[in-house]
Amino acid sequence: MTNTMQRVVLAARPEGAPKDSDFRLEEAPVPTPGDGEFLCRTIYLSLDPYMRGRMDDKKSYAKPVAIGGVMEGGTVSEVIASNHGDFQVGDIVEARTGWQTHAISNGAGMRKINAAVAPISTALGVLGMPGMTAYAGMRNIGQPKAGETVVVAAASGAVGAVVGQIAKIHGCRAVGVAGSDDKCAYVTDTLGFDACVNHNDPDLRRLLKEACPDGIDVYFENVAGKVLEAVIPLLNPFSRVPVCGLIAQYNATGLGDGKNMLPVLMRQTLTNRVLWRGFIVSDFWDQFPDFEIAMGEWIKTGQVTFKEDRVAGLANAPRAFQGLLRGENFGKLVVEVGDDPTA
């Protein structure tokens, strides 16, 4: 065990897309746990689009990261020293200890991971927050019924991949939108979606319409932008739109370009009695035990598969995160921060 730890702090609030200089890699002494505390070392760090919101100080559902503060994030970590009765050295935990190699915890919000169920990194993906986000949005808002059409963007990403696979489990037609032909091929061939449309195709509207010959009953919104604008005219009567993320506009510094789409959205909402509902995964934390049981079963039967995009080294997290916001990752983005003793 080294005596020096590393952490990535927020150096400056980004204007538009984050750049290297908005982050700073720092070193510090590894802290010592006090009474009722334990020290853990990070094995995997999750990178997720919501982190972009934490870098701004706009009013939102969560507090921003302070300038000079450690970037927030979920991790899979190992307990390496403990003065806490419930956590022993060697325990693997899912934690929210952020972009750093080591952290002290009193156990609040920690969840022990059973490495026998699935690879421990899945606690950041299909068996963690992104998987739960897909599950909660579909269960509580999307409410897919057999024969309906479900559309999700970022379909090869951590949330979108699960949304489409849940749609298939419910007997729906699953249509993805993704950012490259390779991703589209993965979405249909490996994940089992019925169709996937490349959002970089200038014919996005026509292609999406062709992929949804019976219209759209559920649109799981995690992207916004041009995908949303292509979806709106296709929404069916009594369709549902869980609004979970807006990655295409996270870096926006002003209002949208182009014509004002608000009247079009409102007309469609009224005419087709569309339901839109924003949600945050934590609104439904009480359903996490249900999720763990269902998802564990789906993984076991192969009804849900997953893909990780691994990046080596904490120092590379800022670059990888910038790429995530541009859609450059392919699968759940995970940073390998320290050795995985279960691998």
Q: Which of 35, 146, 213, 257 binds its own copies (CB under 8 A)?
A: 257
222, amino acid identity: N
- Residue with tokens 């909402």, as numbered in its chain: 269
Instruction: Tell me which residues in 166-225 interact with its own copies (CB under 8 A).
Output: 221, 224
Adjacent-strand bridge partners of 41: 78, 102
Tell me whether strands 92-95 and 75-82 are parallel, antiparallel or unpaired.
antiparallel
Write phi, then psi, for 134 (nearest 5 degrees): -60, -45
Least Å from the CB of residue 167 to its own copies: 21
> Would you say the C-alpha torsion 240, 134, 98, 8 has a positive or negative sign?
negative
CB under 8 A: which stretch of 23-31, 56-64, 126-134, 335-343 binds its own copies? 56-64
**Crossing angle for the helix pair 129-137 and 158-169, to the nearest 10 degrees:** 40
Quote the tokens at residue 319. Answer: 């670059």
CA dist 226 and 164 (Å) reads 20
Contact by Cβ (8 Å): 329, 19: no
Phi-psi region of 154 (alpha: psi -120 to 50; beta: other; left: phi over 0): left
Residues 28, 66, 67, 264: which binds its own copies (CB under 8 A)? 264
Q: Based on CB atoms, which residue is closest to its own copies, 256 or 331?
A: 256
Q: Output the six-digit token pair for 137.
A: 């949005």
Q: Quick one: which segment of 69-77, 160-168, 175-183, 272-280 binds its own copies (CB under 8 A)?
A: 272-280
Is 260 an interacting residue with respect to its own copies (CB under 8 A)?
yes
Select from 162-170, 279-287, 296-304, 333-341 the region that touches its own copies (CB under 8 A).
Answer: 279-287
Does residue 286 bind its own copies (CB under 8 A)? Answer: no
Q: How far apart are CA 239 and CA 225, in angstroms?
A: 19
Q: Return d(Cα 171, Cα 193) in angstroms, integer.
A: 11
Give yes or no for residue 258 binding its own copies (CB under 8 A): yes
Q: Which stretch binds its own copies (CB under 8 A): 34-42, 106-114, 186-194, 269-277?
A: 269-277
Q: Of the ranges 120-128, 159-167, 204-212, 248-256, which one interacts with its own copies (CB under 8 A)?
A: 248-256
Residue (146 or 259) nearer to its own copies, CB:
259
Contact flag: residue 11 with its own copies (CB under 8 A): no
Q: How far is the CB of 325 from its own copies (least distance, A)?
A: 16
Q: Looking at beta carbons only, is 143 or 180 nearer to its own copies?
A: 143
Q: Which residues bind its own copies (CB under 8 A)?
A: 59-61, 221, 224, 228-229, 237, 243-246, 249, 252, 255-267, 269-280, 283
